[in-house]
Chain A
Amino acid sequence: MTLWFVLSLMTAAAVFAVLQPLARRAPLRSGSDVAVYRDQLQEIDRDRTAGLIGEREAEAARIEVSRRLIGAADAEAPAASVDRTGRRRVAALIALVLLPLGAAGTYLMSGSPHLPAQPLSARLDRPPADAPGERSIADLVGRVEAHLEANPEDGRGWEVLAPVYMRLNRYEDAVKARRNILRLLGEDAVRHSDLGEALTGVANGIVTADAKAAFERALRHDPNEFKARYFLGLAAEQDGRPNEAANVWRELLAGAPPDAPWTGFIRESLLRVDPSTPMPAGPTADDVAAASQLSPEQRTEFVRGMVERLAERLQREGSDVDGWLRLLRAYMVLGDRDKARAAAGDARRALASEPDKLRQIDELVKGLGLEG
């Protein structure tokens, strides 16, 4: 409401700026050539008195200016005085009607009056109870970065930072971090395909030659590495070979565990290249399409629904570490720190027997600032 009030006030001010001079009756103050030439004559006299020009020069200048002065005086025509209420009305009408209508129309075409401002401080305050939220991420990133400035050879540090960079859309930094991870901690399939993913992010979702090479390296380490296979399929699609892409993705689906969380995603991609793909239950392309048409609130609800489903599934089969990681991030995105913390606890219990996976959870928890 306040916004509309302010906007109308601004409109009123603009209209006033046009109407006010139209209401004036007094003639305009106006300079004229005659005045200029008079000033020039005085100036010549002053210069002469000050000794800046000689008498003869002054005389010549005086004659010349006087000639121009006479010419200007002749040329000055008396202003025509006619009835001008009609014109005023037209001008006033333009200001009163066209200006507000035009402005409102133009603004509504591209403006977003329903969106509140979201300055950093407001966003930090949003869950007022525990403000750290995003701030702590920025802080943490800064702290880890500072740590890495001093110890650039600390591979684990880079490993903490890389997923956060991905989350913050800082893909170029993520690429650097992941290159460092590969260099410092050794190569494996997952690290290579993570690098490929970051490279793809840098190129705004295009699988570049570099990214493709990274995925291919990943497959040399582990021919079943899921992410690498998915992205190579995507590369095939982008290179204009949809059949190849469809084959890759179909194979992926065939080999997938029945409840793998990413099957919906793959089906959706598959549907793009091969519309005949059957769609089982789960987040289908339709769901996603529907989601993209929802209002922000509804979309949040939709996402929440998906997250609940994921959480339920993880309660049943707790060994899916990727699922847990995604769940934690999802809660953070939704601003549910408490749930995220609870989920982290669940995940730790479920994965207690697998130190490797446990470590992944711990790192993310640290990266998200969920500790303490």
Chain B
Amino acid sequence: MIPEIGHYALVLALGLAMIQAVVPLWGARLRDDTLMGTAGPTAFAQLAFAAIAFAALTACYVYSDFSVANVFENSHSAKPLIYKITGVWGNHEGSMLLWVLILALFGALVAYFGDNLPATLKANVLAVQSWIAAAFYIFILGTSNPFLRLAEAPFEGRDLNPILQDIGLAIHPPMLYLGYVGFSISFSFAIAALIEGRIDAAWARWVRPWTLAAWMCLTAGISMGSYWAYYELGWGGWWFWDPVENASLMPWIAGTALLHSAVVMEKRNALKIWTILLAILAFSLSLIGTFLVRSGVLTSVHTFATDPTRGVFILAILTFFIGGGLALYAWRAPVLKQGGLFAPLSREGALVLNNLFLTTACATVFIGTLYPLALEALTGDKISVGAPFFNLTFGPLMVPLLLAVPFGPLLAWKRGDLLGVAQRLTAAWMCGLITVAVTFAITRGGPILAPFAIGLAVYVMVGALTDIFERAGLLRVPFPTAIRRAGGLPRSAWGTAFAHFGLGATLLGIVCESNWNTERIVTLKPNETVSLRSYELTFDGMTTRQGPNYRELTAKFTVRSGGTVVDVMEPSKRNFASRGTSTTEAALLTRGFSQIYLSLGDPAADGALAIRLYHKPLVLLIWLGTVLMVFGGALSLSDRRLRVGAPKPAKKSALQPAE
């Protein structure tokens, strides 16, 4: 009965979504409170039924009900409970169900918190949100139904792949989805504004926090996926520029741009039309990210051959929402009132620059990701566009942006004073330059550009703190006063500082890791020693151990630095003999922010063991930086104050620090 209840709940959710997509819209057009009033309750009911459907599928996984085809294909009765649950979204159908569940959840949240929105805006937003939901319910029911049944439940499910059973891999997709789907709110708000032909003041007040929340989830999701690849794939890479990663990076970049332009819009009532476009783009890229690239629609004609309905359906949905959104934008955007004025040299101007570079960088990633697909479709040539392409395009575009990052928060709204800000950033660029000089001195003969990149990172980090120091009056007023003032600063200011500092930290980690990463691949016999940087690793020997369903070959290494024992590292290789697969469990030794990374190759017949050994300087900063960014986002999100950007009066007063 459970699977059928889930199936029917999904159908009811579709029905409610269709009602919610039409009735409130009709009501908003006629300004009929009663009709608009249906939006809220239907949104809650839709969430309830989507949740029932999801819970039913989860129950089928937990109880190993193999009469459900989807469970049979993707689960196994002997899987640990946690992986039975995470297995729900480890396949196409289940992940689609999770997707609509999150979509319904966001719709219900708007309905719940949206009492202070103008009634027509709320009705329109919920209706648009429901169009998206309805399209995906139809997609699921029509082409990817997880509740299809098998008359006779087979003995045993089909899938039990040890490599995919990893907690990191289990949490990372829902985080990404929260991010992707979170942008649907911004999208719905943008479309609703276009339908109404005006942007309310409440509009901006709403869009920024939702975008911020979605952006935080996306940041965390991408970062988690990257760390998973780093420790699990056994060769220490953390970013591959492969299409699936790019698919999550593109909405992230667009979302970052949206975040910044929404600030301008919220505080200064400017950049309205541009913000709307970005909101449409961010969600469009999310859609492309989840469906186009991953479903293989473009990558291969064969995908169409095996399941034509699914591919065509996805294309139809993408065309409808992306094409429809952009067409509506082209038609209605001129109707919207232009926002406030500002000088090119102002906080607004800096944020426009940020948006310009971010969207351009996003476009280069887009080209790099889709060009091979397009080329294959047109000429049949297969090419791969890899890291060199992105390093050459994405990299240079980031440099001016990073140079500008510390300026943004220090510039005044409306009209700013570039020279004054440059003066106030003295500490930052001095630190940066000193770092460049010192790095050059230490790493004589190394990569030429790397010291500059390090300097840039330091400059961004110090620059991020400058704003806080200045506003707290550190070094100018007595220390306790400064601390008190710093504590009294708006949390959004702290949020900005943390996020920008995190950006610098990530950059520092990336530059150090990719330029001064030491790699050694050697074969060792027991009791032999290999040296890496200032460390010496002695291979003590191997032991084999029996795990629950694998056999583990563990090697023991003693790590010494200058003769004293630092630690012991025990990388291993697990062999799942009955399935014939093996996984490499790398050993990581953390020293400060740096890590020693050790993974095993195959043992040779004579007892020698091939190992892969890396010293990765400051590598942890890559992920700690993203943690700081998310934390900064959370701080800013928790800032419940209304946000008004107070412009400076026209008279010259910009040299005084704003307090």
Residues of A within 8 A of B65 (CB): 117-120
Chain B residue contacts of A115, Cβ below 8 A: 3-4, 67, 149, 151
Q: Which of B232-240, B315-323, B503-511, B573-581 contacts its partner?
A: B573-581
- Select which of B38, B44, B118, B641 is within 8 A of A22 by beta carbon: B38
* Contact in complex: B35, A91 (CB < 8 Å): yes
Instruction: Please tell me if A145 contacts chain B, counting CB pairs below 8 Å.
Output: yes
> Which of A51-59, A253-261, A358-366 is the interface stretch?
A51-59
Contact of B577 among A57, A99, A152 (CB under 8 A): A152
Contacts of B488 in A (CB 8 A): 50-52
- Is the CB of B490 closer than 8 A to any CB of chain A? yes
Closest 10 CB pairs of A and B: A119-B63, A17-B45, A31-B116, A120-B64, A30-B119, A61-B646, A118-B67, A118-B153, A43-B642, A57-B646
Q: When the two chains form their complex, are residues A54 and B658 in contact, meaning their CB atoms are under 8 A apart?
A: yes
- Flag if B202 contacts A36 (CB, 8 Å): yes
CA distance A111 to B1 in the complex (A): 11
- The residues of A that contact B546 with a CB separation of less than 8 Å are 149-150
Q: Which of B11, B35, B115, B145 has the most CB of A within 10 A?
A: B11
A107 touches B201 (CB 8 A): no
Docked complex: B36-66 residues within 8 A CB-CB of A? 36-38, 40-42, 44-45, 48-49, 52, 60, 63-66
Q: Report how far A82 CA is from B578 CA in the complex, Å.
A: 74
Interface residues of B in 1-55 (CB under 8 A from A): 1-5, 7-9, 11-12, 14-16, 18-19, 23, 26-27, 30-38, 40-42, 44-45, 48-49, 52
B549–A112 CB distance below 8 A: no
Asked if A304 is at the interface of the complex by the 8 Å CB criterion, the answer is no
The CA-CA distance from A51 to B477 in the complex, in Å, is: 15
Query: What is the CA–CA distance of A366 and B210 in the complex, to the nearest angstrom?
Result: 61
Q: Distance (Å) between the CB of A142 and the closest chain B CB? A: 7
Query: CB-defined interface of A83-124 with B at 8 Å, one 1/0 digit per residue?
Result: 010011001001100110011001100111101111111010
Q: What is the bound-complex CA distance between A170 and B157, given in angstroms?
A: 9
B527-554: which residues lie under 8 A (CB-CB) from chain A?
A: 546, 549-551
Task: Please determine whether A11 and B579 come into contact, CB atoms closer than 8 angstroms.
Answer: no
Q: How far is the CA of A294 from the CA of B14 in the complex (A)?
A: 33
Q: How far is the CA of A54 from the CA of B646 in the complex (A)?
A: 9
Tell me the complex Cα distance, A65–B647, Å: 11
Which of chain B's residues have a CB closer than 8 A to the CB of A30? 115, 117-119, 122
| B34 & A138 in contact (Cβ 8 Å cutoff) | no
Question: Can you name 28 A-B residue pairings with CB atoms under 8 Å?
Answer: A7-B4, A13-B45, A28-B33, A28-B37, A31-B116, A32-B118, A33-B200, A33-B201, A35-B116, A36-B201, A44-B646, A52-B488, A53-B658, A80-B31, A82-B32, A84-B34, A84-B35, A88-B34, A99-B19, A115-B3, A115-B151, A117-B4, A119-B60, A123-B153, A137-B156, A149-B549, A173-B578, A176-B578
Contact with A along B463-476 (1 / 0, CB 8 A): 00000000000000
**Given A54-B658, A94-B19, is A116 in contact with B1 using a C-beta cutoff of 8 Å?**
yes
The distance in angstroms between the C-alpha atoms of A27 and B119, with both chains bound, is: 10
User: Cα distance A150–B577 when bound, in Å?
Assistant: 9
Task: Using A17-B42, A28-B33, A57-B658 as known contacts, say yes or no to A137 and B155 having CB atoms under 8 A apart.
Answer: yes
Q: Do A84 and B45 have beta carbons less than 8 Å apart?
A: no
Instruction: Give the complex CA separation of A148 and B549 in angstroms.
Output: 10
Contacts of B31 in A (CB 8 A): 79-80
Among B2, B115, B551, contact of A31 (Cβ-Cβ < 8 Å): B115
Q: Which residues of B contact A53 (CB under 8 A)?
A: 646, 658-659
Asked if B152 lies at the interface with its beta carbon under 8 angstroms from chain A, I say yes
Q: Does B363 count as interface, using CB distance less than 8 angstroms?
A: no
A315, CB-defined interface residue at 8 Å: no
With contact pairs A17-B41, A17-B45, A24-B34 given, residues A112 and B644 touching in the complex (Cβ less than 8 Å):
no
Do A87 and B4 touch across chains, with their CB atoms under 8 A apart? no
The contact of B12 among A14, A65, A145, by CB within 8 Å, is A14
Contact A54/B659 with A10-B49, A11-B12, A31-B118 known, Cβ cut-off 8 Å:
yes
**Cα distance A204–B25 in the bound complex, in angstroms:** 49
Once the chains bind, are A40 and B642 in contact (CB under 8 Å)?
Answer: yes
A72 to B31, CA, bound (A): 18
Complex CA gap A58/B648 in Å reads 9
**How long is the Cα–Cα vector from A56 to B16 in the complex, in angstroms?**
53
A40 contacts which chain B residues (CB < 8 A)?
A: 201, 642, 644
Chain A residues, Cβ within 8 Å of B41: 17-18, 20-21
- Tell me if B154 and A169 are in contact (CB < 8 A): yes
Contact A111 B578 (CB under 8 A): no
Told that A31-B118, A37-B201 touch, could you supply 4 new A-B pairs with CB distance under 8 A? A17-B42, A21-B41, A117-B1, A149-B546
- Chain B residue numbers with a CB within 8 Å of A61 are 644-647
Q: Known contacts being A106-B141, A145-B549, is A113 close to B647, with CB within 8 Å?
A: no
Cα A179 to Cα B606 in complex, Å, equals 26
Quote the shortest CB–CB distance from B653 to chain A (angstroms): 7
Q: Which one of A47, A82, A88 contacts B646 once the chains associate, using CB atoms below 8 Å?
A: A47
- Interface flag for A146 (CB, 8 Å): yes
Q: Determine whether the beta carbon of B649 is less than 8 Å from that of A44.
A: no
A252 CB, min distance to chain B CBs, angstroms: 30
Interface flags, B617-654, vs A, CB<8A=1, else 0: 00000000000000000000000011111111101010
Q: How far is the CA of A80 from the CA of B60 in the complex (A)?
A: 51
Within 8 Å CB of A68, what residues of B?
A: 201, 269
B652 to chain A, nearest CB (A): 11
Count contacts on A: residues with CB < 8 A to the other chain: 93
Q: Is A39 an interface residue (CB 8 A)?
A: yes
Residues of chain B having any CB pair with chain A under 8 Å: 1-5, 7-9, 11-12, 14-16, 18-19, 23, 26-27, 30-38, 40-42, 44-45, 48-49, 52, 60, 63-67, 77-78, 115-119, 122, 141, 145, 147-149, 151-156, 158, 200-202, 205, 269, 340, 488-490, 546, 549-551, 577-580, 641-649, 651, 653, 658-659
Instruction: Judge if A3 is at the interface, Cβ distance under 8 Å.
Output: yes
Are A95 and B33 touching (Cβ within 8 A)?
no
A residues 183-234 with Cβ under 8 Å of B?
none
List, in ascending order, chain B residues with CB within 8 A of A103's CB. Answer: 8, 11-12, 14-15
Residues on A with C-beta less than 8 A from B153 are 118, 123
Residues of B within 8 A of A290 (CB): none
Interface presence of A29 (CB below 8 A): yes
CB-CB under 8 A for A94 and B23, given A7-B8, A148-B577: yes
**Once the chains bind, are B148 and A110 in contact (CB under 8 Å)?**
yes
CB-defined contacts of A58 to chain B, threshold 8 Å: 646
Residue of B whose beta carbon sits closest to that of A91: B23
Shortest distance from the beta carbon of A67 to any chain B beta carbon, whole Å: 10
Q: Is the CB of A111 within 8 A of B147?
A: yes
Question: How far apart sit A54 and B657, CA to CA, in the bound complex (Å)?
Answer: 10
With both chains docked as a complex, state the minimum distance between the C-beta of B547 and any C-beta of chain A, in angstroms.
9
The one of B19, B78, B200, B579 in contact with A173, judged by C-beta atoms closer than 8 angstroms, is B579
Q: Is A296 an interface residue (CB 8 A)?
A: yes
In the complex, what distance in Å separates the CA atom of A29 from the CA atom of B78? 53
Expressed in whole angstroms, the Cα–Cα distance for A208 and B645 within the complex equals 69
Check A59/B141 contact, CB under 8 A, given A31-B117, A37-B201, A173-B579: no
Which residues of the partner chain B approach A65 to less than 8 Å between Cβ atoms? 644
Q: Who on chain A is nearest to B653 by CB?
A: A56
Measured between C-beta atoms, what is the minimum distance from A37 to chain B in Å?
A: 6
Q: Which residues of A contact B579 (CB under 8 A)?
A: 172-173, 176
Which residue of B116, B158, B649 is within 8 Å of A56 (Cβ)?
Answer: B649
Q: How far is the CB of B454 from chain A (nearest CB, A)?
A: 35
Shortest distance between the CB of A370 and any CB in chain B (Å): 16
Known interface pairs A84-B35, A94-B23; A28-B16 also in contact (CB < 8 Å) = no
B4 with A18: CB separation less than 8 A: no
Question: Would you call A293 an interface residue if the criterion is a C-beta within 8 Å of the partner chain's C-beta atoms?
Answer: no
Q: Does A346 have its Cβ within 8 Å of any Cβ on chain B?
A: no
Instruction: List the A side residues contacting B651 at CB < 8 Å.
Output: 56
Complex Cα spacing A81 to B85, Å: 52
Residues of B within 8 A of A152 (CB): 577
Whether a CB of chain B sits under 8 angstroms from the CB of A289 is no
User: What residue in chain A is nearest B471 (Cβ atoms)?
Assistant: A52
CA distance A33 to B121 in the complex (A): 11
